[in-house]
Amino acid sequence: MYNEKVMDVFKNPKNVGEIENADGVGTVGNASCGDIMQISLKIENDVIVDAKFKTFGCAAAIATSSTATEMIKGMTIKEALEVTNKKVVECLGGLPAQKIHCSVLAEEAIKKAIDDYLAKKNA
């Protein structure tokens, strides 16, 4: 069902956990499958210096969370907002069609975390 890269990332995820006093936190979920994903960000001068995730879900949900957080570290906010679920899937070498929604959750969690950061910054 999953390719070798997805299984490797699932078995050895990076950035698991939560950033204490995060600058932005985004939590999303998919009611139909039960996956819940939270991404927390540490941002300095509009650059994402750290990203961590906590995910309750299947192998694809964990693999996309790990991959997405790895992708955005070092990016500016503007660059991170351009990360799409398709880019996450490409980075993983593909996902089964019925698991694409996991990559959508990753994209949405990034955007929600950045929205949270911007709301706090402009408050």
Q: Which two tokens stand for residue 72?
A: 């955005």
101 within a domain of the structure (yes/no): yes
105-122 pLDDT per residue, tens: 999 999 999 999 999 988
State mean pLDDT over 79-86: 97
Decide: 89 and 106 in contact? Cβ < 8 Å: no
- Is residue 6 very low, low, confident or very high in pLDDT (cuts 50, 70, 90)? very high
Q: Please give the full DSSP string across 29-52, using - where no structure is assigned.
A: E-TTT--EEEEEEEEETTEEEEEE
Query: Distance between CA atoms of 12 and 21, rounded to whole angstroms?
Result: 25
37-62 pLDDT per residue, tens: 999 999 999 999 999 999 999 999 99
Q: Which of 28, 71, 102, 105 is the catalytic position?
A: 102
Q: Which of 13, 14, 29, 33 is the catalytic position?
A: 33
pLDDT at 111: 98
62-74 pLDDT per residue, tens: 999 999 999 999 9
Closest CA to 107 of 71, 59, 76: 71
Q: Is 33 a catalytic residue?
A: yes
Question: What is the widest separation between alpha-carbon atoms in the chain?
Answer: 46
123 within a domain of the structure (yes/no): no
Percent of the chain with pLDDT over 70: 100
Q: Which amino acid is at 87?
A: K
pLDDT at 93: 98
Tokens 């961590």 -> residue: 52
Percent of the chain with pLDDT over 90: 92
Contacts of 100 (CB under 8 A, 6+ apart): 85, 89
Q: Is 91 a catalytic residue?
A: no
Q: Find the CATH number of the domain harbouring 112.
A: 3.90.1010.10
Percentages helix, strand, coil for the chain (3-state, rounded to 5) are: 50, 20, 30
Q: What's the domain count of the chain?
A: 1
pLDDT at 97: 94
Q: Which two tokens stand for residue 29?
A: 């979920």
State mean pLDDT over 4-21: 97
26 within a domain of the structure (yes/no): yes
State mean pLDDT over 13-35: 93
Q: Which two tokens stand for residue 75?
A: 């990016």
Tokens 């955005």 -> residue: 72
The domain of 101 spans 4-116
